[in-house]
Structure 1
Amino acid sequence: MRNKTTQNKAISKSSDGFIRVISGQFRGRKLPVKNVEGLRPTTDRIKETVFNWLMQDTRDAHVLDCFAGSGGLGFEALSRFAKSTIFIELDKFAAKQLELNISTLKLENAQVKHTNSLSYLEQKNTNETFNLVFVDPPFRKDLAQTTCDLLEKNQWLSSEALIYVEVETELSTFQKPDNWLLIKEKKAGQVFCRLYQRQSN
């Protein structure tokens, strides 16, 4: 029999909250989220802002959700009829929950890559490119810069891909790739929300 401390730890890992899909075919659906250190589910307010920016660009998009965590952005894109979504998530509990939520929604066009996002992107892409990418890494680990550089360097992006990047407001060193155009920006609390469009050469 487990002692009380062990039981409490098990309970805290099992089910600690949910995210809500705010629009589209799964509007109103609540999806469980694991209690994972450093996980910051995207708020409904920010999701509304981002997808108002994207408007019709989500439909039929091939989506890559880096540092997926709860999968809030990727599931929102799927709800708005994205053609496919790949979630990249390192934490095994979060990755498993993503798989369960995909199963719950009966999605056949979504998959989870249980791996480090940077390691995944360090590979040279030889498959289909993505035209919508979400980059919302854990804060204060200087991951956004490297992620965006790898997306560009290793041919993960379509010629006019849209890339959403979320960074902490105190991060002043972020430099976008030269051929990315900033098209939308908003400060929301302690984060900057930015939408870039890749310019074809």
Structure 2
Amino acid sequence: MAAQQKNQLRIIGGECRRRIVHFPDGDGLRPTPDRVRETLFNWLGQDLTGKRCLDLFAGSGALGFEAGSRNAARVVMVEKSKPVHAVLTANRSTLKLDRVELVHADAMSWLARSNDSFDVAFVDPPYASDLLLPTLTALLPRLAPGARVYAETADWSGLEAALAGWTVLREGRAGTVHYRLLTPA
């Protein structure tokens, strides 16, 4: 297999499998690696038919497009960077994933005004931010019963006490990526 080019990724499953999407250079923009996405979607199940998914801090779109490719009923991707949002729009068009909705907004502001409910949420804020825990707290009222939340960070140390309201279903690490699959306790 050819080496992956800079600023592109491939969708690894579903109807868009093997399709390439591009993303711009961005401060802190780091797509979830193929290996981690493969593990995550093994945990969630390969087919997300009927699931309502939320991709906060969408960035490259790796997780949201992957969910859309795997037949999620609805995917809402929230991204505040205007140039990144524009590329996400172009990629959605290229992939022909009409069930993916793109929102140009700050993730925390959008969560505060949203009344939607989701079965699966992807929370992958910039590692240099302190947004992971506030986002998980703000996300709780938006989760359907039995919802699953993928959370990614560079380091979970210091965050354990704040996760008291969550059950860790699975966890893994790939290089600097530390990730967990959570559900509300």
Query: TM-score when scaled to structure 2?
Result: 0.91
Question: Is 1:133 paired with 2:121?
Answer: yes
- Counterpart-to-counterpart distance in 1, 2:7 and 2:47: 29
Q: CA deviation at 1:59?
A: 2.4
- Counterpart-to-counterpart distance in 2, 1:87 and 1:19: 17
Aligned to 1:41: 31
Q: CA deviation at 1:172?
A: 2.1
Q: How does 1:23-172 map to 2 (within 5 A)?
A: 23-56=13-46, 58-123=48-113, 125-126=114-115, 128-152=116-140, 155-169=141-155, 171-172=157-158
Structure 1 residues without counterparts, runs of 5 or longer: 1-15
Contact 2:65 2:100 in 1 (8 A): no
* 1:34-63 Cα shifts (integer Å, max 9, x gaps): 111110111101111111111156222100
The runs of 4+ residues in structure 1 deviating greater than 4 Å are none
- Counterpart-to-counterpart distance in 2, 1:84 and 1:183: 24
Counterpart of 2:16 in 1: which secondary structure?
coil
C-alpha distance 171-89 of structure 1, shift in aligned 2 (>3 A): farther
Counterpart of 1:184 in 2: which secondary structure?
strand
C-alpha distance 191-120 of structure 1, shift in aligned 2 (>3 A): same
RMSD value, Cα: 1.7
Q: CA deviation at 1:170?
A: 5.8
Aligned to 1:8: none
Q: CA deviation at 1:66?
A: 0.4
Q: Share of identical aligned residues, percent?
A: 38
Counterpart of 2:144 in 1: which secondary structure?
strand
Deviates more, 1:165-174 or 1:68-77: 165-174
Report which of the two structures shows the higher radius of gyration computed on alpha carbons.
Answer: 1
Name which of 172, 180, 184 aligns with 1:194: 180
Q: CA deviation at 1:189?
A: 1.4
